[in-house]
Structure 1
Amino acid sequence: MRTDIFARLDREPEPPKIEIPRMSRTRLALFGGTSAFYAAIVVAVLASTWLVALDWKLMLFRPYEQWPEQHAFLDYFVVLGQRGPTAVMVAAWLGWRSWRQHTLRPLLALGAALLLLNLTVGAVKIGLGRLGPHYATQIGSAEMFAGGDIFPSGHTANAVVTWGILAYLATTPRARRYLSALSAVVSLGVGLTTVYLGTHWLSDVLLGWAAGLLILLALPWCEPLIGRAEAWILDLRDRWRSRRALTPSRPVAAGGPRPGLVPQRDPAPQPEGGAPHEPVAVAGTAAARPSGSAATTRTATHSSPRAHAMRSERSPVTPTGSRRPPHSRPPVGG
């Protein structure tokens, strides 16, 4: 029995039609507003404006020293923004959704979102090279282009994308509202937790929220590519099944003879008097077919059974011949 996900897709009942989000005017307006906010945060940090001063005030305040009793819990809570654990948890849920909905779209949408996240956030991190609060060298400085990689906050952006994808893929308005509220609370909590622990500036978190939201808003542009990828994977699955169905059930050793049908004829009726049957010819290969007198002897050996003679009529036979002396006639006239 097949237990792969494709076999389960075939056995499940057909789900209701799933509506795929489109790039509406509202979504376009949100995308434009979030892009402007993203650019404003980058400019404010590059220009060392009041936002950088606020970053330093929060850093010198050291929230983890003001409320140390929350430190142990928030050390575990921030894991909800780490890419590895969250990707595994969300992929498990979306894999079950793929089984129930007869489509690979949930898993492919998650893969596309994580790919965009790694490309966009990773490129900005490396390009701007900002140092984190624990590695800052000069008070009041933006710490840009110093070889760091914390701007924007990867934990925050990842929390927005991985938990927000659940709301993006929701099939009912009610589920979408609940999942949107849940993802917003988790992503806000993860971002503020990194500020509490002193691993990120506040501006890092603001840019991480904007970066994750931009990816979610841009996903409808990826839907045609996701549809083509799903069709290609399912077509590859069908071709693999066809080749597997044509594979012989019993493999044949390399160079060995292939099994074939051996035609046989019904044995001829036995004549009266106990005469032996004529030898039955068996179809075979030319190499296995004996020739000459050896062929006659070998064929007679394997001929059909005949009537047995009485024991008194048998002549004892030795490897050199019969032990009975030859019959001699008396001479004529003797």
Structure 2
Amino acid sequence: MRTDRIVAHSAQQLEQERPSDREVPGMSRTRRVLFGTTTVAYAAIVAAVLGSSWLVRLDWQVMLFRPYKQWPQFHAFLDYFVVLGQRGPTAVMVAAWLAWRTWKHRTLRPLLVLGTALLLLNITVGAVKYGLGRLGPHYATTIGSAELFQGGDIFPSGHTANAVVTWGILAYLATTPRARRVLSVVSAVLSLAVGMTTIYLGTHWVTDVLSGWCAGLLVLFALPWCEPMISRAEEWLLVKWAQLRSRWALTPVTVSPIAAGSGLIPPRGAADDAPVLQPVGAGAPARPASAAVASRGAHHGLRGHTARHERPTVPPPGNRRLPHGERSTRPVPPVQTAHRGRGAQG
């Protein structure tokens, strides 16, 4: 008994120390302050672009400087590095890692958090992109203009915002404080590097990158407000999955009538071969089930296998050929005639 108590106590301690994805970050006061500060900065950048302020002039200065021509030796590497900000490749990589964590911890929360964050990112960033319609540096026409409402989709930077969200999700879902700090630094470095790379390549303005950083941070800061909805979605999906599995387990196996009449039913055991009496009508005597099956097979024009006791008897040995009307009968030898006579008498 003492050994059982020690083992139970050790298992309880291990269960308490084991990290779990159920540790949901709350909307603390610090997070609220950061959310408010980021919102103000985002709004200020949008207002500066709409008013063609000094930030727009900075955009043109950097664009005319053409960093990709000043340092061409980095162009080949950075052209591949910027893929870390594209939504498709990054979402696949992060989703694969979170799928493994989902299987390990037996919870759908990591994948649901990623899906919620990407949905918020598409809605918020897409609305501003198509609402302002800003053209990129390579398509600009008027020096000093903000190039707004021209049918573009460059502001804010989708690469930058996506890098902030996809890599920041790993820090958001970290289960230990040390892992959260390390992943926060890694995601911050990656998002900063991706944003600066788009400026180097000339695909985004400076203000596009600044607004992309703010848009991505707003999604991460707002995720705790979505946690109750994520929990309800997880419970609903688990209930539906349990119902689906139970429905699959209780599905009966049916046999078609054609297969039953044609003798294609799988072989049964010895206990199933016993004759079972089935009624054929009111007041009629019962008959074996084999007779019923045979009658159904005859009705459908199908030929079933007969049992050994139902096969016709084999005629006695001798001349089995039937006499033909047009064929002359051959004389029977005396020995065979005597033999047949003895057989008939005996």
Aligned length: 283
After superposition, residues 85-124 of structure 1 pair within 5 angstroms as 85-124=89-128
1:159-195 CA deviation, whole Å, 9 max, x = no partner? 0000000000000111000000000000000001111
Q: Does 1:263 align with 2:266?
A: no
* Conserved? CA contact 1:160–1:212, under 8 Å: yes
After superposition, residues 254-333 of structure 1 pair within 5 angstroms as 255-257=258-260, 261-264=272-275, 282-284=288-290, 286=292, 288=294, 302=309, 324=341
Mapped to 2, the partners of 1:154 and 1:134 lie a distance apart of 16
Q: Does 1:155 align with 2:159?
A: yes
* Conserved? CA contact 2:125–2:156, under 8 Å: yes
Query: Displacement, 1:244?
Result: 2.1
Moved more, 153-162 or 14-23: 14-23
Query: Displacement, 1:83?
Result: 0.6
The amino acid across from 2:201 in the alignment is L
Q: Does 1:144 align with 2:145?
A: no
1:228-262 CA deviation, whole Å, 9 max, x = no partner? 2222222222122212222356x523654396944
* Conserved? CA contact 1:167–1:175, under 8 Å: yes
Percent identity for Structure 1 against Structure 2: 67
Moved more, 174-183 or 114-123: 114-123
Mapped to 2, the partners of 1:317 and 1:25 lie a distance apart of 110
> In structure 1, what is the equivalent of residue 27 of structure 2?
23
* Conserved? CA contact 1:263–1:282, under 8 Å: no
* Conserved? CA contact 1:129–1:148, under 8 Å: yes
**What TM-score does the superposition give when structure 2 sets the normalisation length?**
0.74
> In structure 2, what is the equivalent of residue 311 of structure 1?
none
After superposition, residues 118-133 of structure 1 pair within 5 angstroms as 118-133=122-137
Q: Does 1:226 align with 2:230?
A: yes
The amino acid across from 2:163 in the alignment is A
Q: 1:315 to 1:161 in 2, by over 3 A?
A: closer
**What TM-score does the superposition give when structure 1 sets the normalisation length?**
0.76
* Conserved? CA contact 2:19–2:175, under 8 Å: no
> In structure 2, what is the equivalent of residue 204 of structure 1?
208
* Conserved? CA contact 2:275–2:290, under 8 Å: no
Secondary structure, in 3 states, of the residue corresponding to 2:242? helix
> In structure 2, what is the equivalent of residue 167 of structure 1?
171
Q: Which protein is richer in helix relative to its size?
A: 2
Mapped to 2, the partners of 1:196 and 1:315 lie a distance apart of 104
The amino acid across from 1:21 in the alignment is P
Mapped to 1, the partners of 2:108 and 2:289 lie a distance apart of 55
1:178 is matched with which residue: 169, 172, 182? 182
- CA root-mean-square deviation: 3.1
